[in-house]
Each structure stands twice: as C-alpha cells, then as structure tokens.
C-alpha cells in the first residue's frame, strides 16, 4: 500500500459486518488493539453500519467508544447519534405510507420484507424469513409479526429491507418498478439484504455531515468497507480501503485494499495508514 498523503488521519469510519467483525461476528484481538492504539493517539473511530443503534452498542462498549464527543452512524446513515447525549444529529426516516408501498412491492416481486422503527423490527410475513430471524438476533432488535393493515399511523422507519436467498433477491431486484429507484435509495448490505432508505441518507452523505460538524476535512478521514452500501462512504473519504473479502464494486471504488475480515484486515489498514505514519 502506498501511504503517501497530505494530511494525517483524524477519523476512521468502519463498517461492521464483513469489515470490523470477523466471520464469527467478533472483534479480533489484533483489530481491537489497533483501534485502542489509534484512539489513544487522538484519532476518532466511528462505526458506520446498516445496523440499528442497538446493534452497535455492544461493540462500541467493547471498544470503549462512549461519551458526549463520540458518534455512530446507523441504519446506513439514516441516523447519526451522539453516544453520550442520545441526540440524533442526522435523522431521515420513511413513513407508514412508504412502508405499505414497499411491503406491497416485496410481495409482488416475491421476497420477504421487514421494517425497523428504531426500537423493533416488523415483518408482515407469516412465513417469517430465517434471514429476518438471524438479523433480529445479530442486531439485538426485538422482532414482531404484524399485518400491514395493523401498523399504526404515524410510524417512522429509518430503514426497510427486502430479504431472501441471494438468487431470489437478485431476481426480485431486477423486477422492481421503474419508479422505485426515484422514490428511495436501495443498496445491498449483504447478498441477502436489500436496504431501503430515504435518498438523503447513506453512509457517505452522513459521514460528510458528521465531518462538517466536527470540523474534519475529508482528506483526514479513512473509511473501510466491504459491500455496496459502503461505496458512497469510501468515495467520500480521502483514504478509502476495501476489505479483501469485499465485492468487486467496492474494490473498484476504493483506493486501497487490505486483508479479509478473517485476516485482521481492519487492523492491518490502521497499522499502515495511522500507526506507522
């Protein structure tokens, strides 16, 4: 890796699944040590994930990232939250009409569907997808079945998702109506998840808003990711790093590539671009 750059890294934005977390959904000792050392040197570490805030909190606690001067980017950037005060400095949500519309489209194209309101995960599917159950468990988000007609008015959703086996989901995405892309931003966060959110959100735009708030130039930001929903964040950051296990589009978007999430790729990138500088 060529480490030549104009500015030192002041902020590291790290995706969670497939990036920070190893295949067993753990933070490896080497990755944890690299992050702790970077923080000790005054570098901010911001977790940027498609997960809800609740799905980030155990890992933030493990890394010791807390307090009124720390933030996380959740729901693919639909929420940026101050970890000390709970203030949402960015909040873009979709309403119940969008939920009903997307649930109907999911049924039409033949995939499962779920929506997250910040507290719970809701699905209108009687045959609840095993991917939905797994997502609820991994992100520490309570899961409820509720018919679309029974969803209360006034509900707001930072993120909705179409989920299914990868080949079924890809076929469904190809059948989405033309107006869908104009109404929402939709990006795959894994082979089985299509995340749907307000077009003003996204990890890239919300990282920019947070950087502006903190007074940090983009050239002083390093971002690491592995999937489609990370691309905008990588394109914004001055130092962009794709994981070795990243999809080809991410590797093309990033300037650098590190090892896989099974090989301490995050630690290797931090050691190269932050700790050895």
Bridge partners of residue 225, in order along the sequence:
242
Buried residues in 133-151 as b, exposed as e (16+ CB within 10 A): eebbeebebebeeeeeeeb
CA proximity to 78, closest of 182, 199, 168: 199
Query: What's the mean per-residue pLDDT of the chain?
Result: 96
Instruction: Say whether pLDDT at 15 is over 60.
Output: yes
pTM of the model: 0.92
Measured in degrees and rounded to the nearest 5, phi and psi for residue 71 equal -140, 160
247 or 118, higher pLDDT: 247
Instruction: Say whether pLDDT at 4 is over 60.
Output: no
Query: Tens of pLDDT along 30-50?
Result: 999 999 999 999 999 999 999
Query: Tens of pLDDT along 118-157?
Result: 899 999 999 999 999 999 999 999 999 999 999 999 999 9
Instruction: Give the active site residues.
Output: 15
């Amino acid at each position: 890796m060529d480490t030549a750059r104009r500015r030192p890294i002041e902020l590291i934005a790290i995706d969670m699944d497939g990036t920070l977390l190893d295949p067993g959904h753990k933070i490896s000792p080497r990755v944890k040590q690299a992050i702790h050392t970077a923080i000790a040197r005054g570098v901010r570490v911001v977790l940027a994930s498609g997960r809800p805030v609740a799905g980030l909190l155990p890992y933030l606690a493990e890394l010791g990232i807390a307090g009124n001067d720390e933030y996380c980017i959740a729901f693919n950037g639909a929420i940026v939250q101050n970890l000390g005060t709970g203030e949402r400095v960015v909040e873009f949500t979709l309403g119940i009409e969008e939920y009903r519309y997307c649930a109907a489209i999911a049924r039409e194209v033949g995939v499962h569907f779920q929506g997250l309101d910040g507290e719970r995960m809701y699905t209108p599917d009687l045959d609840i997808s095993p991917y939905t159950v797994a997502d609820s468990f991994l992100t520490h988000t309570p899961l409820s079945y509720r018919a679309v007609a029974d969803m209360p008015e006034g509900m707001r959703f930072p993120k909705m998702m179409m989920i299914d086996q990868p080949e079924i989901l890809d076929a469904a995405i190809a059948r989405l109506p033309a107006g869908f892309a104009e109404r929402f931003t939709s990006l795959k966060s894994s082979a089985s998840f299509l995340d749907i959110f307000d077009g003003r959100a996204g990890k890239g735009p919300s990282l920019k808003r947070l950087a502006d708030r903190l007074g940090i130039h983009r050239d002083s930001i390093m971002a690491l990711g592995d999937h489609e929903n990370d691309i905008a964040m990588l394109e914004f950051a001055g130092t962009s790093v794709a994981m070795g296990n990243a999809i080809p589009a991410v590797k093309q978007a990033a300037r650098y590539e590190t090892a896989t999430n099974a090989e301490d790729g995050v630690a290797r990138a931090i050691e190269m671009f932050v700790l050895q500088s």
